[in-house]
Structure 1
Amino acid sequence: MNVEITDAAVAFYQNEMNLTPGDQLRLFVRVGGVGSGGFSVGITREIEGHNYEMLEKKGIQFFVAKDDLWYIDGMKIDYDDDRDMVMFTQSKFDNLDHPLFIKET
């Protein structure tokens, strides 16, 4: 699995979710908000009985189900201080909300 989670993004989740080393989070594909029908990344502490890929950053384990790798693999997760929000970028899609076209690499 090729996912980059910056130190700033991990620090944001540690502060917002009171995480300590050894805690586990699951990243998953979710269908977007009201009326959008788009996709986004969800995050939860619940780890279910799926087949997962895992990466660890600053003592926090991040899990992604293999069924969700089509969207998350290759993603960069960063925290933007100016916007006060986590930013998700994915170079293989033209539009992360509606990933209809996969860019040629």
Structure 2
Amino acid sequence: MDIRLSEKAISWFKDEMLLTDGDYVRFFARYGGSSPIQQGFSLGISNEEPINPVVIKESEGIQFFIEEKDLWYFDDHHLIVNYDEDLNEPQYKYEK
């Protein structure tokens, strides 16, 4: 399991979440919404420090991570985060 982020996606997170070096972004499972890998759940993001991370990707001074308790959601998929120019927001894909 890996987190892969494009440079434009990282810039979006930094700008929209007002992140600076040493900050964190957590990807987590949230109830509701839609997802191609887990019915009835969707991907959430928050700016919080890790407690028990199992996947960490450091980029441009920001640590993007997934907690152990949310690992089930990804079902052995890598999280690919790109940037959608038309919607001006991150685009999430999952790859085995």
TM class by smaller structure: 0.7 to 0.9
Deviation of 1:46 (Å): 2.1
- In 2, Cα distance between the equivalents of 1:5 and 1:11? 10
Match of 1:19, as an amino acid?
L
Deviation of 1:48 (Å): 5.2
Specify every segment of 5 or more residues in structure 2 that has no aligned partner in the other structure, as ranges: 34-38
Deviation of 1:90 (Å): 1.0
Identity of paired residues, percent?
37
Of structures 1 and 2, the larger Rg is shown by: 1
- Structure 1 or 2: more strand by fraction: 2
Q: Give the TM-score of the pair, scaled to structure 1.
A: 0.71
Deviation of 1:55 (Å): 1.1
Q: Give the TM-score of the pair, scaled to structure 2.
A: 0.77
Deviation of 1:16 (Å): 0.4
Greater relative CO (CA pairs within 8 A, separation 6+): 2
- In 2, Cα distance between the equivalents of 1:48 and 1:83? 29
* Residue 5 (1) aligns with residue 5 (2): yes
2:48 to 46, 49, 68: 46
Deviation of 1:51 (Å): 4.2
